Structure 1
Amino acid sequence: MIMPEREGGYLKGQETRELILRTALSILIEEGYRAMSMRRVAAACGMKFGNLTYHYRSREDLVRELMEAVIRAYEVEFAAIMHMPGVPAEERLRRLCTLVLDDIRSKKTTRFFPELWSLSNYDPFVLERVQELYVRARAPLLEIVAELRPDLGTDDREILALFISASMEGMTVFAGHEKPFEPRMPQLERIAIHSFCTLVKTITADEIKGLGTQA
């Protein structure tokens, strides 16, 4: 799902920027972020370094637009689910989670996001970009939680959306592309979606706050 092929024509400058983004993404996925230098990207694109810096003055500029392209691709898919006429909120939650969990098994997603997670531990610029990306990625989850649980406060809805998002992303290292439990991902997916839907429908504000009756 990351940066799908786009339909329609391009102006020359747009076509070049698209080439640069796809090349940078390919290097990051296949070789890691450290290999994604500006000179490496320029060479892989078959262009001079100066031509690359005409479009992107620094690697930070390139990373910023690359991540913007990535999250836009997801937002298009999320919007298609969110705006399905007549589909109940719980079913949209199921479809949204299915989309994310299926995508985790792709090579692009399994390689791309853990690379960013690792880098964000010591690169403040990447950390900020990653946090921005996930705020936007959680937005549709938050909207569905609000539909299903209008009785919960804003903070409670946000923590539920965060929990669901974090739980799904955490499966990447165990059941992503070529990971040990990838063959079990269909089972994990069914368990996860059932659990998320039940959680959102039944958890109380007191339980979220830790004030519920203890067994």
Structure 2
Amino acid sequence: MRAVDTGGYLKGRIRREDILSAAAAAYGEVGYHGASMREIAKRVGMSHAGLLYYFPTKEALLAAVLERRDAEDAEREQLSSPPGLEVLRHYLALASHNVRHPGIVDLYSRLAAEAVAPDHPAHEYFRRHYDEARAGIRDTFRALAERGQLRADIDPELATVTFIALMDGLQVQWLTTPDTVDLVASLRFYLQSLLTVPLD
């Protein structure tokens, strides 16, 4: 039987990952609209035509970058059901991960701001992302309230919206003035203020 040559396939996968990393960095620095395909190709050290071989359109490249981010997030998620304190601990761990990888925060902050426009290629992605986040966090706060672990004066619906806004806002503040904002400690302080039991 003839041996299968996987060298080209492996090289192609590595090249694809290099392109996605370069695109993510470019989007984080100048946004989706500011990062041209030619500039991304230059970052990887390949021709524009070579980049188009892997990603024929700018929209396809953006979609692949976001899909990779989702896959990386999914690998870190180990949430149990029904939801509870472990979900809040997950978000603290996520904040800690983001502090160690500021490019992630750059990417999401810039793209989310751009994607407010309905015609932005990532608009539906971020709309779905926030819808899913709200649903999961709302279920968590409701479950905590049923167990008596959420303070009686806390409305789970309002806490959900506030939590998402706080996390996004803290990340932007941290990007702008990292020496004055402790992202993880601030998030932990807020979450603990909602609870009747220790978070850690």
TM-score, structure 2 normalization = 0.71
Instruction: Please provide the CA RMSD for this pair.
Output: 3.1
Letter in 1 for 2:112: W
The answer to whether the aligner puts 1:63 opposite 2:62 as a matched pair is yes
Change (3 A) 1:74 1:135: farther
The answer to whether the aligner puts 1:46 opposite 2:45 as a matched pair is yes
Distance 2:161 2:56 in 1: 34
Deviation at 1:89, TM superposition (A): 4.7
Instruction: State the secondary structure of the residue aligned to 1:125.
Output: coil
Unmatched runs of 5 consecutive residues or more in structure 2: 1-8, 148-154
Hey, what does 2:189 align to over in structure 1?
191
Query: When the two structures are aligned, how many residues end up with a matched partner?
Result: 179
Unmatched runs of 5 consecutive residues or more in structure 1: 1-9, 199-215
Hey, what does 1:95 align to over in structure 2?
89
Deviation at 1:42, TM superposition (A): 1.3
Distance 2:109 2:43 in 1: 23
Residue deviations 1:14-35, cap 9 Å, x none?
A: 2222111011112222344344
Deviation at 1:145, TM superposition (A): 3.9
Structure 1 residues 69-78 or 169-178, which shifts more? 169-178
> Contact 1:39/1:49 (CA < 8 Å) preserved in 2?
yes
Letter in 1 for 2:183: M
Instruction: State the secondary structure of the residue aligned to 2:46.
Output: coil
1:4-153 residue pairs with structure 2 within 5 A? Answer: 11-78=10-77, 80=78, 82-83=79-80, 89-105=83-99, 106-122=101-117, 123-138=119-134, 140-145=136-141, 147-149=143-145
Letter in 2 for 1:49: H
Structure 1 residues 112-121 or 97-106, which shifts more? 97-106
Deviation at 1:72, TM superposition (A): 1.8
Distance 1:32 1:191 in 2: 31
Distance 1:68 1:50 in 2: 23
Percent of residue pairs identical? 23
Instruction: State the secondary structure of the residue aligned to 1:114.
Output: helix
Distance 1:180 1:99 in 2: 20
Letter in 2 for 1:37: S
Letter in 1 for 2:113: S
> Contact 2:98/2:104 (CA < 8 Å) preserved in 1?
yes
Distance 2:126 2:170 in 1: 18
